[in-house]
Amino acid sequence: MLDLLSNTHTPMLPPINFCSQCGKGVEQKIPQGETLPRAVCPACQTIHYQNPKIVAGCIPERDGKILLCRRAIEPRHGLWTFPAGFMELGESTEEAAARETLEEANARVRIQTLYALFSLPHVDQVYVVYRAILQDLNFGPGEESLEVQLMPIEAIPWDQLAFPVIRETLHRYVEDTRRTQVQVHFGAI
C-alpha cells in the first residue's frame, strides 16, 4: 500500500478559486471538446489547467561511491536523499538535475544516462533520475542540506531515507550494481 504522506514533498495542488489572469472568480466546468472539469474564468474565458510536476535528480558517482544529502528542510528534515528537486521553466531535465545537485550539495556533475522515470500519481509528481559523474571532491551542504556525504553503497542509510521513491530508486541501483548490469527503470510508485 502506498503511504501518501511519506511520498509528499509538498501538499497536493490547492484548488483554483480565482483567475490568475484577470482576478475574477472561476467556475468549474468541462470546456467544449474536453472530458474533464477545469477551472474556467467566466470573464476572460481562460481555462486553468493543473498538471503533474517533474522532480529531476541524479545519483552522483565517484570511485564506486555515491553522493547523498541529508535534508535541512521539511518535509523529512534530517533524512537522506540523492540531489533532486522541482524542474524550473526554461531548462531541460538534465540541466534541472545538475542545478539541484549544485544547490543542495555544492557539487558539479556531468549527467551520464537516464536511470529512472517513476510516476507518483498520488502526489502528482514524476521523478526523472540520471546517473552522473561527480566531477571533483569540492562539495558540501547547500542551504537545503545539513550534510553531504560521498558514501559506499554498503553505507546507504536505508531506514533514514526521505521518501519511498528515493528508497526504491537506490534499491534498484544497488541491485543493478551487484548484477553489473544497468537498465532504465520506469513505472508508478
Strands (E), the chain: 27-29, 38-40, 47-48, 53-62, 65-71, 80-81, 84-86, 109-120, 125-134, 145-152, 185-188
Q: Is-cis flag, bond preceding 75, omega within 30?
A: yes
Say if CB 131 and CB 113 are below 8 A apart: yes
Binding letters toward its own copies, positions 32-61, x by CB under 8 A: -x-xx--x------x-xxxxxxx-------
**Binding range to its own copies, per CB under 8 A, among 28-36, 63-71, 152-160, 168-176:** 28-36
Q: Is 18 in the site for its own copies (CB under 8 A)?
A: yes
Which of 26, 150 has the CB closer to its own copies? 26
Cα 98 from Cα 108, distance rounded (Å): 7
Contacting its own copies (CB under 8 A), which of 4, 21, 29, 175?
Answer: 21
Q: Is 128 in the site for its own copies (CB under 8 A)?
A: yes
Shortest reach from residue 168's CB to its own copies, in Å: 14
Cell of 141: 551542504
Say if CB 68 and CB 155 are below 8 A apart: no
Say if CB 68 and CB 58 are below 8 A apart: no
Number of neighbours of residue 86 by Cβ within 10 angstroms: 13
Which of 65, 185 has the CB closer to its own copies? 185
Cα 183 from Cα 38, distance rounded (Å): 38
Contacting its own copies (CB under 8 A), which of 3, 29, 78, 88?
Answer: 88
Shortest reach from residue 50's CB to its own copies, in Å: 6
Which of 91, 175 has the CB closer to its own copies? 91
- What residues make contact with its own copies under the rule CB under 8 A? 13-14, 16-25, 33, 35-36, 39, 46, 48-54, 86-95, 103, 113-114, 117, 119, 121-122, 124, 126, 128, 143-144, 184, 186-188
